Amino acid sequence: MHLLDPINFSFPLLATATQAADSSMVVAAVLLSLVVVYLASKVGGELSNQVGLPPVLGELVGGVVVGISVFHLLVFPEGGTDSSNSLIMSFLQITAGLTPEATPAVFAAQSEVISVLAELGVIILLFEIGLESNLKDLMAVGIQATVVAIVGVVVPFAAGTVGLMTLFGIAAVPAIFAGAALTATSIGITSKVLSELGRLNSKEGQIILGAAVIDDVLGIIVLAVVASLAKDGVVDVSKVIYLIISATGFILGAILLGNVFNKSFVAIADKLKTRGGLVIPAFIFAFAMAYLAAVIHLEAILGAFAAGLVLEETDKRKELQRQVCPIADMLVPIFFVTVGAKTDLGVLNPAIPDNREGLIMATFLIIVAILGKVITGLSVFGQPEINRLAIGVGMIPRGEVGLVFAGVGAASGALSKPLGAAIIMMVILTTFLAPPLLRFVFPDPKTVDSGSDQLILDGSSGTSLVIEPPQLRVPASTDSGNLEVTPESSDR
C-alpha cells in the first residue's frame, strides 16, 4: 500500500486530475464508478445474505462480475488494461462528449481516485475491527485459545510459503505474502454459524472465538511485516526482525497508551458541542496513528487497528461504533468491490494450457488453507471430551480478513495475476465451505429413548439438555411445562 508513503509523499491524483485531464470528466467518471461499485456491493451482499453467507463475500463476487473478469465496467491500469477496455470510458464518450484523445488521462485519474478511496476504506475497516476487539476478552480466553491461534498462524504460513517456493518456484516475497494470507481467520462468519447452532457459549465455541480474535491481531502484524518487505522486493533477515519487533511494540505501545489516553479523549469529546464531536476526534486519532505506523515503515492499517484497540477501552466505544458504521458502509464496500474487480479469474481457466499451473496453485492453497487450520484442533490439551475437529473447522473461513491480505498484495505489486487470483479463490472457497462443515462437525442434538421420557443429549459432550414426554414435542421456549435441565458442567 502506498497511500501514506512517508518518504515520497506526493499528490499524483491531484496533478493528474488538474493538469492532464478535464476535471469535470474525471468527476463524472468517478461518480459513474461509484454507482457501479455500490450497485455491485448491494446486489452481491443481499444475494449472499439470502443464502446464509456473509455479505462481504457477495461484495467480492459483485466486484468480480463488474470487473476485468466479466463486464469490464470497473477496470484498472495496474493489470495492463487500458482505457479501451473500460465500458465507463466508452459510456462517457457516447453521453458526455469525452474525446478519444482525452480518455487515457481521464481513465488514469479515475482509477487513481477509486484506488485511493479503496485504501481509505480498508484503513477504516481495520479501525472498525479494532473498535470491536475487546482486549479484556482477548486476555481472558486463556492459554488454550492462544495456542490454537499460534498454531493456526504458523502451520499454514510455513506450509504455504515453503510449498509455493519449492513446488512452483515462486520467489520469496510473493510466496511469503501468499503464506501470510493463509493465516487469517474470519471471526464474523464463525461466530454467526456458532450462534445459529447454539454453540457460541460452548467450550469449543469459546476457544474458536478467542483464537480467531488473537489470529486477527497476529495476522495484522504479519501483514504489516510482509507488506513492508514487498516494497523492497527482497527478504532481509535483519529487516524482518526489525519489522516484527516494531509491529509488536507498536501494538503493545497502543495498548499502554490506551490506559492514559482514554480519559483525555472522553473529556475532549464531551467539550465539543458541534456535529461530529465524537467521530471527528476519533478519526483524527486513527489517521494520526496510521501515519505514525507508515513513518516507522509499517502499514497504515496497523496504525488504524491499534487506534481502534485504544478507543475500544473508552466509555464512548458503543456510541463511537454506531457513528463509525455509516462511514464504513460508504467506504469499505469500495475496497471489497475493487479487490474483486482487479481479480482476473480468467488466468485460472483450465482450457488455456498456460493457466493450468495457476489452477494447480489455487488448489494447493485451498488444501493448505483447510488442513492448516483443521490441525489446530489437535493442539488443544487437557480437554479429553472436547470436539477438536469442530475447533479446527471453525478456524477455516478467511472472509474479510483474507481479502485484506489479497487487496494489500495486489496494491503492493508483489503478487502475480495467477497467484493473486489463486488467493482470491482460496478466500472464496474457504468462506463457502466453513458454514456447512461447521454444521456437519457439530451434529444436531441426539435423541435417546429412555422409557417413558426422551433424553436429548448435546452431540459434542453428552450433557443432558432437555427431558420431555415422548408425545409432547413442544419447543422448550413455550409455556408447555417442559423441564429444562441445565447442569453446571465444564463444557458451559
Q: pTM for the full model? A: 0.74
Task: Tell me the percentage of the chain whose pLDDT exceeds 70.
Answer: 83
Enter the C-alpha cell of residue 407: 487487496
Domain 120-441 - what CATH class?
mainly alpha
pLDDT digits (tens, 9 = 90+) for 403-439: 788 888 877 788 888 898 899 889 888 888 887 888 8
pLDDT digits (tens, 9 = 90+) for 29-87: 999 999 999 999 999 999 988 987 778 888 889 999 999 889 999 999 876 788 988 99
pLDDT for 444: 59
Confidence of residue 243 (pLDDT cuts 50, 70, 90): confident
Structure-model confidence comparison of residues 475 and 168, the more confident one = 168
Using CA atoms, how far apart are residues 434 and 454, in angstroms rounded to an integer?
A: 32
Helix (H) and strand (E) counts in the chain: 18, 4
Which CA distances in Å does 46 have to 49, 174, 274, 480?
5, 34, 35, 38
Which CA distances in Å does 114 have to 110, 317, 426, 432?
6, 30, 25, 28
Average pLDDT over residues 214-230: 82
Which CA distances in Å does 365 have to 164, 167, 178, 283, 423?
9, 12, 8, 37, 7
Cross-strand partners of 467: 455, 483
* pLDDT > 60? residue 485: no
Using CA atoms, how far apart are residues 233 and 173, in angstroms rounded to an integer?
A: 6
pLDDT for 455: 36
Using CA atoms, how far apart are residues 458 and 181, in angstroms rounded to an integer?
A: 35
Instruction: Give the least confident one: 82-91, 237-246, 319-328.
Output: 237-246
* pLDDT > 70? residue 329: yes
Angle, helices 417-441 vs 356-374, to 10°: value is: 40
| SS3 category, 453 | strand
pLDDT digits (tens, 9 = 90+) for 364-403: 999 999 999 999 988 887 777 888 999 999 999 887 778 7
Confidence of residue 15 (pLDDT cuts 50, 70, 90): very low
207 phi, psi to nearest 5 deg: -65, -45
Average pLDDT over residues 101-126: 93
Instruction: Give the least confident one: 82-86, 244-248, 381-385, 459-463.
Output: 459-463
pLDDT digits (tens, 9 = 90+) for 260-304: 788 888 888 889 989 999 999 999 999 999 999 888 878 888 889
Using CA atoms, how far apart are residues 164 and 174, in angstroms rounded to an integer?
A: 9
Confidence of residue 200 (pLDDT cuts 50, 70, 90): confident
8 Å CB contact between 402 and 186: yes
Structure-model confidence comparison of residues 160 and 239, the more confident one = 160
Using CA atoms, how far apart are residues 339 and 362, in angstroms rounded to an integer?
A: 17
Using CA atoms, how far apart are residues 260 and 433, in angstroms rounded to an integer?
A: 43
pLDDT for 449: 41
Which stretch of DSSP H or E encloses residue 483?
strand 483-484
pLDDT for 236: 76
| Residue boundaries of the structural domains of the chain | 23-113, 120-441
Name 431's Cβ contacts closer than 8 Å, sequence gap at least 6: 53, 54, 57, 186, 189, 397, 398, 399, 402
Angle, helices 187-197 vs 399-412, to 10°: value is: 170
Instruction: Give the least confident one: 98-107, 170-179, 310-319, 482-491.
Output: 482-491
Using CA atoms, how far apart are residues 128 and 451, in angstroms rounded to an integer?
A: 54
* pLDDT > 50? residue 452: no
Cross-strand partners of 466: 456, 484
Name 346's Cβ contacts closer than 8 Å, sequence gap at least 6: 68, 69, 355
